[in-house]
Structure 1
Amino acid sequence: MSEARDNAWLRAMPVVFVLIWSTGFIVARYGMPHAPPFKFLAWRYALSILCFLPWIVLARVRWPQTRTQWLHLAVTGVLMHAGYLGGVWAAVKAGMGSGLSALVVGLQPVLTALWLSANGGQVNKRQWLGLLLGFAGLVLVVSRKFEGGGPGDQATWLNLSFAVGALLCITVGTLYQKRFVAPCDVRSANAVQLGAALLATLPLALMEPEAMAWNGELAGAMAWSVLGLTLGGSSLLYMLIQRGAAASVTSLMYLVPPCTALIAWVLFAEPITAATLAGTALTAFGVSLVVRASR
């Protein structure tokens, strides 16, 4: 019975991860008007560490055993937390719409596959087809964001640089973790990663002139960022990378923008068009090809 429950949880992990990760832009919509990006993220990292530490102590979780393990975890923390989240939030704050930023960061699976192919990794024809179909579906989903060309959908060299930086950080961080980070407890690993991200983010936060305007929306956005996105989503991403092939794990990122569109429809009554439905179906099919081929 226990083994059956474990297998069911392993099968559900990708679905739960996509649902949690998809709420990132929803949180940004609630929190961004009331806080500068790096101050918000510094608070998020600090509060997340405070949540992990008692859990680690009470559960008697082992910390990484060598300096090398600490170093590798710190590098992934700077890349996958400070670099990725800092880039995305800075891009949105600088005027880039959620559709365009999702599209830029959505290039990650293709970038990962290109790197794996160039370095002798196994990315077969079916996986390439799945990656391309997933990207085509992603374009369909976010294409409606560009209709009308509102101010929030405009790209500048500044916000585009932030988004591309986020893309590079999450891609390199995923590949780096898969290659160099030895398996260890996800709680202590996350605490080390978040500590490194906090140290990298804090100087930028202190340079921001804008203050945090605490209210209900900002408090709610912060609570979900800590409990849902960091303790839940980041922990699941860590476990998925440890357990799965890089191409199949990163292909899950294709599902995030369609799920975000569905969540925005439920919470904010944002319309879902035929292009959104078609793109979601195409993306899901593409991801299934990548994951099946990897298995």
Structure 2
Amino acid sequence: DQSPRGKAVGKEIESLKAKGPLGVEIVLKAPYAPLLSQLALPSGMAAIMAKDSIASPLKDFVGTGPYKFKERRPDQFVLLTRFDKYSARKESASGYGGKREAAIEELRFVPVPNASTRVEGALAGQYDFADLLPVEALPRLEKASGKTLPILTPSFGFPYLVLNTKEGVAASQPVRQAIQTALGQGEMLAAGFGDTRFFVAEANHFPKGSPFYSTAGADQYNQRNAAKAKDAAAKAGYKGEPIRVLTSRQYDFHYNMSLLMAEQLKRAGFKVDLNVVDWATLTQRRNDPRLWEI
């Protein structure tokens, strides 16, 4: 009822019941591979809470970790303080498990939407930690030895495009294939991440070493062929309808990549309408297939 991922999993569940004092039995309507991942994902995991503590919005905050919620001021900060009653596990810390120690008495999370402001704040010592910094800032951060310690996260993830297959011009598979022909993901990744230390352009959806690694369809990836795309779009019956691209500045690379993608599509004769909104609006609008194509 609370988590978006929980709602998605809920649609797959036939029944859910207690099975002994420490067991839960989940019966699925059909095989559903992501179940364990969805239950464990740190940004939307299944959590056990007292029934009377659950409300929307939450009024009582119950935590079991080394920190507890103290205060939130919208657009200013979220404040956590050390939870002295926390009982740590004895094993050494590993990933999301093991021993946890609250070495810092107070954690103050300050929302700073502008990435450049986060960089300047880190260099000035205003923040102890700043994340999701623009890649072009790395040389400055590296030169500020003693002031900053840049940490690179390998295999951060992969940006992806979602095309609207339900309605609108992109519901046509031949049109989607024409769009794919127009796109150059290598050029887009360069726009989003600049330095080649930060990205690799590969056709495979899963990385090498994964049991799901495959290069099937790799010849359709990273074509950036405007002439071929324009011809394919015409044959698909494209009549100049706007391709509405829904994006946000929440993540700099999303926005920068969408700007470049819009230019690639325009070169192939597509009419592009770039809709730049805040992240909350994006997550709301993407649930309505009438409002976007990509």
Q: Same fold (TM over 0.5)?
A: no
Structure 1 length-normalised TM: 0.24
Give the number of the structure with larger relative contact order, counting CA–CA contacts within 8 Å between residues 6 or more apart.
Answer: 1
Structure 2 length-normalised TM: 0.25
Give the greater-gyration-radius structure (CA).
2
The structure richer in strand per residue is 2
The structure richer in helix per residue is 1
